[in-house]
Amino acid sequence: MAALGIHKDFLMEFARLEKPVQKRVHEVFDKFQEHRHAGLHLEKLERARDPRIRTIRINQSMRGVVLAPESGDSFLLLKVMRHDDAIDWAVKHRATVNSATQGIELRNDVALERATAGVQALASAAPGDAAPLFAHVSDKDLTRLGIDAELLPLIRHLSDEAHLDASHKVLPEQQYDVLAGLAAGMEPEDVWREVVLVQLEQVSPPTSPQLTIASNGDAPTPSAGQDGLSAAMARSQGRIALVSGSDELTEILSRPFDAWRVFLHPSQRKVAYRPSYKGPARVIGGPGTGKTVVALHRAFHLARQLPADAPDESILLTTFTRDLAADLRGNLELLIPDAQMRAKIRVVNVDALANQIVREDRGAPLAIVTRQKEITARWERIARQLGVDFTGVFLDQEWRHVILAQDLRSPEAYLKASRSGRGTPLGPLKRAQVWRAIEAFTKELRQAGEWTFLQVCAEAARILEEQGGERPYRHVVIDEAQDLHPTQWRLLRALVAPGPDDLFLAGDTYQRIYGNKVSLRSLGISVTGRSTRLRINYRTTQEILTWSTALLTGERIDDMDGGDESLTGYRSAFHGAPPQTQGSSSKTEELAGLVAQIEDWTRVEVSPHEIGVAVRYIQLGKDIAHALEQAGVPATVLGAAPGTGDGVRVGTMHRMKGLEFRCMAVAGVNDGVVPMRGAITAEEVDPQQHREDLLAELSLLFVACTRARDALRVSWHGDPSPFLNMVAAL
Ligand SMILES: Nc1ncnc2c1ncn2[C@@H]1O[C@H](COP(=O)(O)OP(=O)(O)OP(=O)(O)O)[C@@H](O)[C@H]1O
């Protein structure tokens, strides 16, 4: 049986080709099963380091590079390039099999030899005092992790991480992954488990999306009878997609930019396509590590596992906001072209779902009080009327973080409740006063027929619990889990019966921006032993990641499960320019500099819609959009009154959550604005809440900065935000 593999690089290069050339590439490889027998015109090259690497004519100027062994029926599309570049690439490269994972790796022999000679010459000319980067790892361990003897002379001379990064291009990718893990401080045993074993475990995956994208059928698994190349291709998931036929080739090539549909990293695939979890499971990881991608694939996997008679919308895929839910819906369409299969998954944000449950129960629409300012003002008025000495902010926080969070329904329950997480102790008398204020506040809402969002969630959970019986969903998949309030968790818990594959969560507590802290265990959701961390960032360059991570260094962040989170070991798959920081003396000057930068970006072929601008408050965003429009650059303010929807996307930092942009500017990062003075509880009111609020503001800046793919610019006018002190030394 002929097998065709597509290397990730091939798809990336294909994506950048003009449409007619793409069409031609498609024609050349379409019906590859028949062609192979008829003999694809694969040309051998003289002087090639690897005689199995051949080229094929696409058109006058472009050639494909293909790995095609002498015997056997399989071939692998490696590159598609301009004629001379393709020949040059093809003669210098060699395909080998990694000794640990048995997957295919590619190496540029010529560059590798040159780099090795270079470091050796340098080391003998100027021997340094410092220990080499991998002095602590034995040859035996390196070999066990798949580092081959040929590479050791180079690796043993690497002096630091920057040196390793500089060698990235000449190292075979799997071996680089191993070395990057060791350089980040991981023990060889951890690298074995997280980098090598995940790959080995997938030698015979039960099913994989790359094989089922078009057919949704089961994947052929490599067997001993197939030739070595096809087995090695199957062991290279994450880099090579196996294609089962012409339809599947068409499907993959139809959306080449969306590589996440096809190429999951083994660590992502392992989580998403695990046949079953005994109970709630979750994926964690820093920004851009593909948590949303994994959540989408998990939903797909669960949909495929449903029994044939399962009704539509048996699975819920949910998240925090309506905008994020809309993004998930769009991406699900890309991942699952089959509309019938897609119909098994309902995508809706938690609040909208809660609203629907309560609305249907009452038979009437609900009036929701959405504006936080109005809610605080009501608390202030009630405190005055009752003559109690609490601020509106304090009462609102006590209601949300203690009473609603623990679902306290009586003054007795509140009197006994733990208030851990709150910084001001409250004796019985004070608690009685708070309870009176809460009764007055909720009574007023009830009489006006009004609700807050959290009340709606609490009510929806209560309705489901009281109904008992069958739960509305078989599986619930949750993205941006770090921001959900305990009330929302109680609703999610009530939506699905406890059992295998009930809940699947994706989240990152470093990105918590709404101050909703939870302990999953206390909510009856135990993920112990079913939590996996992703470490490779696919969005942001290493330079932007290092800079942004420094903002949060030293902060203690919980992991929602009784432990602490850590940012160690994260790394990016790309490199680029370091972030720029720019201070100005006035707002006018800052805006002029920002507009000039955006104009520069658009001059180097970045489309306006690939540029994002994040600000802490919307008015500044409107001013920036206005300044851009005046300079002739189209701009849209996200979430504002309907505009054209084109151009540079300008929005609040909150609104940027979950989005990404090729070039990102974070503007107005001034003292007093970031953190926003009004959003921070005074230390005298509640010292613990004060710290939590500061942390949420810091996370907000972190979220905004990590939306950048290639370029990040952070600017301010007047005094810079004190948060920037943490990165000033970088
Ligand atoms: N295996 C992959 N191959 C190629 N691209 C990937 C892969 N995994 C993720 N990506 C891409 O990386 C980017 C980040 O992915 P995603 O949004 O899922 O990350 P995330 O962890 O949810 O990020 P955040 O927490 O910052 O919102 C997206 O553009 C996604 O398409």
- Considering only CA atoms, which of 64, 56, 54 is closest in space to residue 91? 54
pLDDT of residue 408: 95
Whether residue 285 is annotated as binding a ligand: the answer is yes
The answer to whether 297 touches 291, Cβ cutoff 8 Å, is no
The answer to whether 338 touches 216, Cβ cutoff 8 Å, is yes
Query: To the nearest 10°, the Cα dihedral for 110, 113, 115, 121?
Result: -140
pLDDT of residue 35: 57
Whether residue 452 is annotated as binding a ligand: the answer is no
Which ligand 1 atom sits closest to the C-alpha of 285?
A: 21
Whether residue 286 is annotated as binding a ligand: the answer is yes
What is the distance in A from the centroid of ligand 1 to the CA of 218? 26
What is the distance in A from the centroid of ligand 1 to the CA of 657? 13
What is the distance in A from the centroid of ligand 1 to the CA of 120? 38
Q: E-strand spans in 450-545?
A: 450-451, 475-478, 503-507, 531-534, 536-541
Burial of 273 (0-12, 13-18, 19+ CB in 10 A): buried
pLDDT of residue 212: 29
How far is Cα 529 from Cα 537, in angstroms, rounded to an integer? 23
What is the distance in A from the centroid of ligand 1 to the CA of 566? 19
| Burial letters 619-643, b for 16+ CB under 10 A, else e | ebbebbbebbeeeebbbbbbeeeee
Place of tokens 């907000």: 700
Whether residue 288 is annotated as binding a ligand: the answer is yes
Write down the pTM of the prediction.
0.86
Q: Name every protein residue with a CB atom under 6 angstroms from any ligand 1 atom.
A: 259-260, 263-265, 268, 285, 287-293, 508, 511, 538-539, 658, 660, 706
Alpha carbon distances (Å) from 219 to 264, 272, 342, 631: 16, 16, 20, 54
What is the distance in A from the centroid of ligand 1 to the CA of 298? 14
Residue of 210, 292, 541, 656 best suited for mutating to test ligand 1, as the one with most atoms within 8 Å of CB:
292
How far is Cα 323 from Cα 340, in angstroms, rounded to an integer? 24
Ligand 1 atom 8 nearest Cα? 290
Residue of 260, 334, 706 best suited for mutating to test ligand 1, as the one with most atoms within 8 Å of CB:
260
What is the distance in A from the centroid of ligand 1 to the CA of 55? 32
pLDDT of residue 90: 96
Ligand 1 atom 1 nearest Cα? 264
Ligand 1 atom 13 nearest Cα? 539
- Please write the tens of the pLDDT for every residue from 369-388: 988 889 999 999 999 999 99
At residue 477, the 3 state secondary structure works out as strand
Residue of 239, 539, 664 best suited for mutating to test ligand 1, as the one with most atoms within 8 Å of CB:
539
Residue of 538, 541, 659, 700 best suited for mutating to test ligand 1, as the one with most atoms within 8 Å of CB:
538
What is the distance in A from the centroid of ligand 1 to the CA of 258? 10
pLDDT of residue 305: 94
Ligand 1 atom 29 nearest Cα? 539
Whether residue 291 is annotated as binding a ligand: the answer is yes
Query: To the nearest 10°, the Cα dihedral for 227, 228, 231, 236?
Result: -140
Look up the ipTM and state it. Answer: 0.99
Ligand 1 atom 28 nearest Cα? 539
Q: Mean pLDDT of residues grouped by 10 in the chain (730 residues)?
A: 83 87 88 60 89 91 88 84 95 93 92 90 75 91 94 90 85 91 88 84 45 29 47 84 85 87 88 95 94 97 96 97 93 93 98 97 93 92 94 92 94 92 87 96 95 96 91 97 95 96 96 87 90 91 92 84 79 88 97 97 91 96 96 90 75 93 97 91 85 92 96 97 82
The answer to whether 635 touches 702, Cβ cutoff 8 Å, is no
Ligand 1 atom 6 nearest Cα? 260
- Please write the tens of the pLDDT for every residue from 501-542: 999 999 999 999 988 888 898 888 999 999 999 988 999 999
Q: What is the DSSP string of 457-472?
A: HHHHHHHHHHH-SS-S
What is the distance in A from the centroid of ligand 1 to the CA of 710? 14
- Considering only CA atoms, which of 688, 689, 721, 729 is closest in space to residue 705? 721
Which ligand 1 atom sits closest to the C-alpha of 296?
A: 18
How far is Cα 9 from Cα 78, in angstroms, rounded to an integer? 7
